Structure 1
């Protein structure tokens, strides 16, 4: 028999949550078959079978938090054919009047003690039935955690036999239905749906709150005239697509502008480590992506060494992986500065929250035609975008933050200057 254990998942990850089992007890598996999906703070990981055999036990259920090295299941080396004969009592009845070997060996705990659950339609795993017979537990009295009502080995193992005895308070509970459904009474009997946050959503929530509690966060704003960039894209997009097989989007311009501004204002590319300031001499830019399981920030490595096409290809690649939940941990770790684009959802203005331990994040927003004064006598409608820089005021002064944002603005309004920054 071999054990199914939680594998090591990276330096910063010590635990995960069982998101979904792809097998059930009694299933035959081969080496490499996917057994379950584990949700971590950053990505979902598939755990595969390292041995062939039969799923003998599933010890931890969907939704359970588990730690690295923990045993969450067991695989028997037997095949399905070998397992089947060992459970004749569950597949066919003994001849009437016959005395079975089990009845002779265990007269005080006959199989019938647990079998009423079978007759009543209760479903239980083979290992749960076996353990129930050994302990003389009525499966009808076992409280399972499976929403579909199936009883597992762990449910029987954790069962408290005293819970099967009626308590003095039982009649009071039955006469007060509202006490059994506090959620309904909380909202005056109106319909609600209560569901547990995913592990990733819990992590996002905790980190955002932590960032606000530990950093002296401040946001400064500016606006960018996108006329020049939109003109370049209009003139060059077809040739760019033909040559590089990728669209010329806005993100490559913003990534290049951010790198140029970081070179001039290096404290925005730093982090705080105790009483030290760690200035990073490389430019790994995180790009926030909204995926089904929650926000993730994959990293474009060494963005300062990449051209427009390489940046666009890498962003498309990372975004596709994020939405298909196939990002690796290495693609999410690190990052020196982050860009987030709320404009794709229609946001006109926002204050982005820092992606700790980074000390700067740039927020992009919706492009909107607005009247802009060209000189004292005339104005034009221009495609304008508000940009926001949130920064950690502990090491970044206001003047430096404003200078950084003005530099980003100037580089974007003169796209040719971005070539010099490369």
Structure 2
């Protein structure tokens, strides 16, 4: 029986995908439910699983673009698993060529290939495996040892042999190409400006130090900075609604809900999953959602629906050590907040100099609908909330902190 594995639809409006990785080889025996390939769309990566046991025949090459509904591969489910026979046949051939005698060095299959390609005498290699068996590691060590010996006994080699000057070409993934298009579009189609401010993180440090262990024990996630900044942004967006807006043709659309996109770096590139209706969420709920979305991004499991929408974006370049940056707007949104590395700096507090943990903030915005007053006011509001979180985010008193943190 022959089973056809077709390209699934990653989401609405997506008609073409790219085969980014084959996890099996042509002719392999695959099992039902086994992940056999990964495909990239413009927005996300999807895994393809085998629908039956059998021998697989690949119909599409890695890197090839295909349409939704095209046949990726076929599986002959009537075929038996020939792997056991192949392994036994290789074992029999090995024993035939190198009898199991302790006085004879027997190379592993991987080392046997190296010995043949490099024309290395079997007797010249010291085996470290069981019963003196020669391993791949032994062969590599033998080659490196001989190469070192040759270089040490000769004059300085030409510069071309001293340095590795090779280069590789790798085609851009579908995700990376789409991201490039979006970034160029933003640069060319928006009147993007950036405004800056700095924020004293001392009060946030005190709260986290006092409650982080209890918070982690009760809720299973860390009390991070992102929940404070998400809540601060929601408050600022309510005060400056044009920052929570977008342009559609000749119209401006103001959103009366607050879907906050969080930029997360994953193995496939930068992903921007969305925390929906953040205005109704608690510190615990925000931290749990960020943890869940971050895990799915790093595991390559994030879905298109989880990245669709969003009215405002937060990105944290500080986790990579960035001191200051001008983040690019995430279209069709009109603004993005950039967080940066926290550094201890001397600041004037009540006419005296103190060392405080300071973070620089940046807000990139589309000047077509957001004026300087709104952009500066937005950042000042975020700064105000972060520097006095008890008053603006936690109900106004020490007694309400535990309640807000659900402790």
Please indicate, yes or no, whether the TM-score normalized by the shorter chain is above 0.5: yes
Is this contact kept in 1: 2:54–2:81, CA < 8 A?
no
What SS class does the counterpart of residue 247 from structure 1 fall into?
coil
Corresponding residue for residue 48 of structure 2: 47
What are the Cα deviations for residues 201-251 of structure 1, in whole angstroms up to 9, with x where unaligned? 222222111111111111000110111111111222222223222211111
Question: Structure 1 residues 76, 322: CA separation in 2 closer, same or farther (over 3 Å shift)?
Answer: same
Distance 2:168 2:22 in 1: 24
Corresponding residue for residue 318 of structure 1: 293
Corresponding residue for residue 59 of structure 1: 59
1:13 counterpart = 2:17: no
1:344 counterpart = 2:351: no
Unaligned 5+ residue runs, structure 2? Answer: 83-163, 397-403
Is this contact kept in 2: 1:373–1:379, CA < 8 A?
yes
Is this contact kept in 1: 2:226–2:287, CA < 8 A?
yes
Corresponding residue for residue 24 of structure 1: 25
What SS class does the counterpart of residue 9 from structure 1 fall into?
coil
Corresponding residue for residue 277 of structure 1: 252
Structure 1 outlier segments of 4+, above 6 Å: none
Corresponding residue for residue 382 of structure 1: 356
1:404 counterpart = 2:378: yes
Corresponding residue for residue 391 of structure 1: 365
Question: Structure 1 residues 191, 50: CA separation in 2 closer, same or farther (over 3 Å shift)?
Answer: closer
Distance 2:26 2:318 in 1: 48
Is this contact kept in 2: 1:26–1:80, CA < 8 A?
no
Is this contact kept in 1: 2:237–2:244, CA < 8 A?
yes
Distance 2:182 2:189 in 1: 10
Is this contact kept in 2: 1:369–1:382, CA < 8 A?
yes
1:307 counterpart = 2:282: yes
TM-score by length of 2: 0.72
What SS class does the counterpart of residue 4 from structure 2 fall into?
strand
Is this contact kept in 2: 1:221–1:388, CA < 8 A?
yes
What SS class does the counterpart of residue 223 from structure 1 fall into?
strand
What are the Cα deviations for residues 375-419 of structure 1, in whole angstroms up to 9, with x where unaligned? 4x4221211111000011111111111111111111111101113
Distance 1:355 1:400 in 2: 18
Deviation at 1:77, TM superposition (A): 5.2
Distance 1:372 1:81 in 2: 71
Distance 2:320 2:26 in 1: 44
Match of 2:167 among 182, 192, 195: 192
What are the Cα deviations for residues 174-216 of structure 1, in whole angstroms up to 9, with x where unaligned? xxxxxxxxxxxxxxx9432222222222222221111111111
Distance 1:192 1:77 in 2: 42
1:256 counterpart = 2:257: no
Distance 2:55 2:281 in 1: 50
Distance 2:206 2:347 in 1: 17
Corresponding residue for residue 68 of structure 2: 68
Q: How many residues align?
A: 314
What are the Cα deviations for residues 44-101 of structure 1, in whole angstroms up to 9, with x where unaligned? 211223455443x42211111112112233334542499xxxxxxxxxxxxxxxxxxx
What SS class does the counterpart of residue 419 from structure 1 fall into?
coil
1:237 counterpart = 2:212: yes
Corresponding residue for residue 85 of structure 2: none
Distance 2:365 2:285 in 1: 28
TM-score by length of 1: 0.70
What SS class does the counterpart of residue 357 from structure 1 fall into?
coil
1:201 counterpart = 2:202: no
What are the Cα deviations for residues 330-354 of structure 1, in whole angstroms up to 9, with x where unaligned? 2111111110001111111100001
Distance 1:34 1:233 in 2: 41
Corresponding residue for residue 138 of structure 1: none
What SS class does the counterpart of residue 212 from structure 1 fall into?
helix
Is this contact kept in 2: 1:226–1:413, CA < 8 A?
yes
Is this contact kept in 1: 2:22–2:38, CA < 8 A?
yes
Corresponding residue for residue 210 of structure 1: 185
